[in-house]
Amino acid sequence: MMKLMLATSAIALALAAPARADFWADASADLQGVTIRGVSESTPPSNYVKDVLIPEFTAKTGIIVEYETTSWDQMFDKAIKDMEAGSGIYDFVYIEQDIIYSYLARDFLVNLTDMLEANPDLQAPDFDMAAFTTFIDNFRGADGDVFGMPMEAFIKVYLYRKDLFEEPAHQEAFKAKYNYDLAPAVTFDQWRDNAEYFANIDPNDELWGTTVQAASGHPASFYEFFETIAPSFGVYNWGINAETAAATVEKGGQMNSAEAKEALAFWISMLDYAPPEATASTWDEVASTFAAGRAAQGWVYGENAAWIATNPEKSSVVGKVGVMLPPVVDGVMAEAEAGEGYIGYYDGGAFGMPHSSKNKEATLLFLQYIGQPSVQADWAVAGSRVVHQATYDDPKVQAVDAIADGYFTLMRDKGYLFRGAPEFPFHAQVREAVAPFIYEAIVGTMTPGDALDQAAAAAETEMANLGYGGN
Amino acid sequence: MRNSTTGWLLLAPTLFILVITGLLPFVYVLSVSFFDWNTFAQNPDPQYAGVNNFRRLVFDAAFLKSLWLTLKFTVFVVLSQLVIGFFLAKMLMRDMPLKGLFRTVHTLPLMIAPIAVGATWRLLTVPGLGPIPHWMKEWFDISYILSRFPDQAFATVVIMDIWHWTPLVTLTLMAGLSNLPEEPLEQARIDGASEWRIFWDITLAFLKPVLLTTIFIRLMDALRTVDEVWMLTGGGPGAETRFIGLHIWRVVFPKTDYGYGSAMSLITLYLTIVMCWFLYVAMTGMKDKTR
């Protein structure tokens, strides 16, 4: 009986296996030689797509993928202009979580749920929307349909140098100076003390107290302040009241509230303890600074956590990285636990298909290919991104998790405390109106208070110009 | 009549290209400038706004600051390039050892794309990585951080542009100097004129057509500088190197404010034409006066 069952199973497997293995070849039979084009930011997860997933996909389907990885601002410019003009240059574009609302408002994207239902022959057997984490909800339209295939998701965490914090000589010297034990920061006062201490111990200025993503002419500084620092002081959604499109306290916003000003003042003051490249640092440079061992602690985008912690070719702090939740002021954690606030930034993005795509079938296959379970674990190891719930349990991911001080576990267990950008259709426009004042505060030509007062007023003017709120 | 027809036929391809690439975009930008048009507004369609976009410009502190910075930058770089380029041209006209090598090396920056020039200077000036901040600290105890100190950023952008474009001025002035007639110069020397009088009354007078062309080219280039500066400073720190081209780019692209951006573009074009015209009148007037 056992032999019969085994033989039956073997036959069933033999019959089933080719069908599953050949799905990509079968589905793409009429698409051989078709070229699809995509654009994305050059990030570790994106580079994995270029270096690994695209060659695999092309080998299995015969569909050629031309994939452009460029700077963050160029990526958006190119994608938006292509979709606005309907020129059809790109078949898939990177949609950051914070821009999807603008894209949906403009009806730029193909409804992937509908398209999959309409094309059963193109549905990959291993692909399942239910396998994604709740991050996919960021890419759903009002009726719950999916408009973007999640490709990366991560949280912005507090990274610190375990080796420095555990060094007895530092612990002794720190306690002698500050009268309490040296430890990773759980309060902002502690962050400041840690930063001051480590910024002053290296006479060669090769080690600094903290990273600050304070590029003084790039929106990265706007994002670090409004999506990471301000929420941890209890200022959410950029300090904008979405219902009334108000930013100033007088009209019901929070952008120039006392909490926001305290947050900006703290963040700006950290420049005194940050390496000189801080005012030129975007997310990439912050990761490089930390990986080069030039900062004792910092806010770092999680997409970099794995390579900083594990890749000795790129990082000089392998095995020395500690990961924790960033500090928050009193009351913020409780609000985040209750779902009324959040403690930091949950970032990520998806690939979406513009209506102007000229090769929709081939693109749909590609999007499913990157969304299937079998590619997720290696991708997570390479780019510290997780979009499938099952990825957390993969042995490869767990092995990296152990070296990266539990980054993946932290993301799985505490990810709900973080949140992406607010659902603003005027995201880029208000950012461009507000960011110059943050730059002025960084350079010191405005006080943090003045900068936020003027920023809030500028935000309201911009929203009014765009027809929102009527301020 | 036949000659005229043939002439127009020969000109037709060029005129066609000019209309397609020059006139039509200009007319389009002109028409867009009279509309409020932001595709991410609640109403993404163009709304007729009359001259409101031009009126806004007068009160837009960011635009005016950007315009002022651009003019300051233009004056600095064009004057510096003329002076340095003239001396280099004079030097390269003489016989000297390794003249050919020097001339080749001096001309190399011209062959580099502006975006690559910006990238190179960025690598040279990034704190913690670039050699310039390192040596400024080591030799002069100066914290050289472009992204933090506006004066350093502006000065560096000016120096970068001078480094990049002075060779063009040198080459054009060399061409002009090599065509100077010898007789008036010899006559002046025989008459006992000083070198300064010879330079002012003869050399400069004969060089005016070349100078005018060179100044026009550099003036227009400087007023529309974008790529190098975008790469080196991104317009920062703050908005201290956000010249008009960069400012328009930020308004039109990330902010998608097409109507207002078009108005800015037109005003910038108008100012460029006016400046060139004034310069032309001033220089040709000077020529007449010299006569």
Convert the pLDDT of each residue in B217-247 to its tens digit.
999 999 999 999 999 999 989 899 999 999 9
Q: With cut-offs at 50, 70 and 90, classify the pLDDT of residue A5.
A: low
Q: Right CATH number for A28-154+346-414 from 3.40.50.300, 3.90.480.20, 3.40.190.10, 1.10.40.30?
A: 3.40.190.10
Percent of all residues in chain A with a pLDDT value above 70, rounded to a whole number? 95
User: What's the pLDDT tens digit per position in B58-116?
Assistant: 999 999 999 999 999 999 999 999 999 999 999 998 888 888 888 889 899 999 999 99
CA of B193 vs chain A CAs: smallest distance (Å): 54
CATH number at residue B246: 1.10.3720.10
- Residues of A in Cβ contact (< 8 Å) with B36: 465
CA distance B199 to B290: 13
CA distances to A139, B65, B80, B110, B217 from B158, in Å: 45, 17, 9, 16, 17
DSSP string, A5-24: HHHHHHHHHHHHHHHHHTHH
pLDDT tens readout for residues B189-221 = 888 888 889 888 888 889 988 999 999 999 999
Is the pLDDT at B33 greater than 50? The verdict is: yes
- In this structure, the number of other CB atoms found within 10 A of the CB of residue B120 comes to 18
List the structure tokens of A385: 């991104």
> Hey, which CATH number is domain A155-345, 3.30.1200.10, 1.10.10.10, 3.40.50.170, 3.40.190.10?
3.40.190.10
Residue B28 in any domain: the answer is no
Binary contact (B238, A294; C-beta < 8 A):
no
- The residue of chain B nearest to residue A218, with distances taken between CA atoms, is B234
- CB-nearest to B239 from A81, A275, A436 is A436
Say how far apart CA A127 and CA A124 lie, in whole Å. 5
> Chain-wide mean pLDDT for chain A?
92
For residue B255, give the chain A residue with the closest CA.
A429
Partner-chain contact B256 A466, CB within 8 Å: no
Same fold, A28-154+346-414 and A155-345: yes
Q: Read off the pLDDT band of A369 (50, 70, 90).
A: very high
Distance of CA A140 to the CA centre of its chain: 18
Which of A276, A432, A465 has the CB atom closest to B254's CB atom? A432
Minimum-distance CB partner of A73 among B43, B254, B256? B254
- Using the predicted structure, report yes or no on whether residue A220 has a pLDDT greater than 60: yes
pLDDT at A320 over 90: yes
Q: What is the separation, in whole angstroms, between the first and last Cα of chain A?
A: 79
Give the least confident one: A13-17, A137-141, A283-287. A13-17
Q: Is the ipTM of this complex over 0.90?
A: no
Q: In this predicted structure, what is the pLDDT of residue A144? A: 92
According to DSSP, residue B21 is labeled: I
Percent of chain A with pLDDT over 90: 81
Contact A216 B148 (CB under 8 A): yes
Give the minimum alpha-carbon distance from B145 to chain A in angstroms, rounded to a whole number.
7
Predicted confidence (pLDDT) at residue A392 exceeds the cutoff of 60: yes
Output phi, psi for B132, to 5 deg.
-65, -50
Please check whether residue B40 lies inside any domain of the structure.
no
pLDDT digits (tens, 9 = 90+) for A413-465: 999 999 988 888 888 899 999 999 999 999 999 999 999 999 999 999 999 99
In the prediction, which pLDDT does A251 show?
A: 95
What pLDDT was estimated at residue B240? 93
Q: Is the pLDDT of residue B291 over 50?
A: no
pLDDT at A19 over 50: no
pLDDT bin (cut points 50, 70, 90) of residue B284 is confident
| Sign of the torsion formed by the C-alpha atoms of A227, A231, A237 and A238 | negative
Q: Which of B238, B253, B254 sits opposite A439 (nearest CB)?
A: B238
DSSP B249-284: HHHHTTS-BHHHHHHHHHHHHHHHHHHHHHHHHHHH
**Chain B residues whose beta carbon lies within 8 Å of the beta carbon of residue A467:** 41-43
pLDDT band at A44 (very low <50, low <70, confident <90, very high): confident
Under 8 Å CB pairs connecting chains A and B tally to 108
pLDDT category at A7 given cuts 50, 70, 90 is low
Probe site for chain B from A282, A434, A466 (most B CB atoms < 10 A): A466
Residue B5 lies in a domain: no
Domain ranges of chain A: 28-154+346-414, 155-345
Q: What is the pLDDT of residue B88?
A: 94
Residue B288's pLDDT band (boundaries 50, 70, 90)? low
- Residue A286, pLDDT > 60, answer yes
Q: At what angle do helices B150-178 and B114-125 cross, to 10 degrees?
A: 130
> Considering only alpha carbons, which residue of chain A is nearest residue B122?
A280
Q: Indicate whether B202 belongs to any domain.
A: yes
**Which residues, in sequence order, are CB contacts of A74 under 8 Å at separation 6+?**
none
Is residue A443 within 8 A of residue B148, CB to CB? The reply is yes
Q: Which of A102, A276, A431 lies nearest to residue B143, judging by beta carbons?
A: A276
How far apart (Å, rounded) are the C-alpha atoms in residues B80 and B151?
Answer: 17
Does the distance separating the beta carbons of B127 and A276 come in below 8 Å?
A: yes
- Please give the mean pLDDT across all residues of chain B: 91
> What phi-psi label fits residue A406: left (phi over 0), alpha (psi between -120 and 50 degrees) or beta?
left
Shortest CA distance from B238: residue in chain A: A439
For residue A171, is pLDDT > 70?
Answer: yes
Residue B69: domain span = 47-290
Please name the residue ranges forming H helices in chain B: 2-18, 24-32, 52-59, 61-93, 99-107, 114-125, 131-140, 150-178, 182-190, 195-198, 204-223, 227-232, 244-252, 258-290
Choose between B98 and A33: higher pLDDT.
A33
- The proportion of chain B whose per-residue pLDDT surpasses 90, expressed as a percent, equals 66
Listed in sequence order, the residues at least 6 apart from B56 whose beta carbon sits closer than 8 Å to its beta carbon are B260, B263
CA A460 centroid distance within chain: 27
Report the DSSP beta bridge partners of residue B287: none
- CA dihedral of A454, A456, A460, A462, whole degrees rounded to 10: 60
Cβ separation of B242 and A431 shorter than 8 Å?
Answer: no
Average pLDDT, integer, range B20-27 = 94
Amino acid identity at A279: T
Indicate yes or no: CB of B147 within 8 angstroms of CB of A467. Answer: no
**B12 Cα to chain A: minimum distance (Å):** 29
How close, in Å, is residue A388 to chain B by CA atoms?
A: 32
Tell me how far apart the terminal alpha carbons of chain B are, to the nearest angstrom. 40
Are the CB atoms for B234 and A218 separated by under 8 Å? yes
Kindly state the greatest CA–CA separation across chain A.
84
Query: Of A10 and B146, which is predicted with more confidence?
Result: B146
Residue B14 domain-assigned (yes or no) = no
Q: Which residues of B touch A (CB under 8 A)?
A: 36, 38-44, 62, 126-129, 133, 143, 145-150, 233-242, 250-251, 253-257
Find the CB nearest B128 among A215, A277, A433: A277
The answer to whether the Cα torsion of B211, B214, B220, B225 is positive or negative is negative
Nearest CB among B41, B146, B235 relative to A466 is that of: B41
The total domain count for chain B is: 1
From A106, A215, A428, residue closest to B44, measured CB to CB: A106
Of A213, A206, A212, nearest to A293 by C-alpha is: A206
> What chain A residue is nearest to B128 in terms of C-alpha separation?
A277
Rounded CA separation B249/B280 (Å) = 29
Rounded CA-CA distance A19/A17 in Å is: 5
The confidence score (pLDDT) of residue A18 equals 44
Distance from CA of A210 to the nearest CA of B (A): 15
DSSP of A237-259, one letter per residue? GGG-BTTTTB-SGGGT--TTSHH
B-chain CB neighbours of A436 within 8 Å are: 62, 238-239
Mean pLDDT value across residues B11-37? 95
CA–CA dist A245, A333 (Å, integer): 26
Q: Is residue B24 part of a domain?
A: no
Per-residue tokens: A330:
């009193």
Distance separating alpha carbons of residues B69 and A225, to the nearest angstrom: 28
CB within 8 Å of B45: residues ≥ 6 apart: B37
